[in-house]
Amino acid sequence: MTTTTEKRAPQAMNGVDTPTLLATINAVGAQPELARFTFRATNKWQLGTHSRTEIRGFYGAGGEQEHASTFALDGDHPAVLTGKDEGPTPVEVLLHGLAACLTAGIGNIASARGVKLDSVESTVEGEIDLRGILGLSDEVRNGYEGVRIHFRIAGDAPAEKLQAIVEQSRSRSAVYDVLTNGVPVDVTVEAV
């Protein structure tokens, strides 16, 4: 027996292939052009406020890639806004994106730090004054005034270490960055 802490090779855990993940990060570090990704989606109006998005191909890791399947996502307005409620509202979709991004990061970071997760649950909410989008006020913004996300996380590590994993995920989250800092969006139109 020994009391020294051994530096062990990372193990696969939490469903994360940690050795391959770390090898991927090293490969990208050595060849930065592999890090350039372009994600894409196509959307078709269905009826009323209902549309459907399909997501399949993307560019990254030096070439064209495809998801294992085509993801189809609906969006609509709820009945109280005279929609048909065929899917979540687009602003609810943003809440999903935020929670899914932070949680994916938690899965990866916990594994890299050797922490076995038992559960990660979050509730996320955003407040919005619809007078903006309804054109009733020019002083009210169109989007959320604020968004809050609360995590409950359990695993085989002290509370401070679990909290630090969430904080590290936040500090490296693509969606958190986009939502808090914004991104230029270019809209073009072809009337056919």
The alpha carbons of the chain give a radius of gyration, in whole angstroms, of 21
Identity of the residue, 11 or 141, whose beta carbon is nearer to a second copy in the bound complex: 141
Asked whether 74 and 50 are in contact (CB, 8 A), the reply is: yes
Q: Which of residues 76-115 bind a second copy (CB under 8 A)?
A: 76-85, 87-108
List 11, 116, 152, 156, residue binding a second copy (CB under 8 A): 152
Say if CB 109 and CB 153 are below 8 A apart. Answer: no
CB atoms within 10 A of CB 152: 10
Dihedral-angle region of residue 71 (phi above 0 means left; psi in -120 to 50 means alpha; beta otherwise): beta
Q: How far is the CB of 40 from a second copy (least distance, A)?
A: 4
Among 11, 116, 156, 180, binds a second copy (CB under 8 A): 180
Site for a second copy in 17-76 (CB under 8 A): 17, 20-21, 24-25, 28-29, 32, 35-51, 53, 55, 58, 60-61, 65, 67-69, 71, 73-76
State which residue, 4 or 161, has the beta carbon closest to a second copy: 161
Residue closer to a second copy by CB (options 1, 30) is 30
Buried b (16+ CB within 10 A) or exposed e, 113-136: bebebeebebebebebbeebeeee
Q: Which is nearer to a second copy, 1 or 55 (CB)?
A: 55
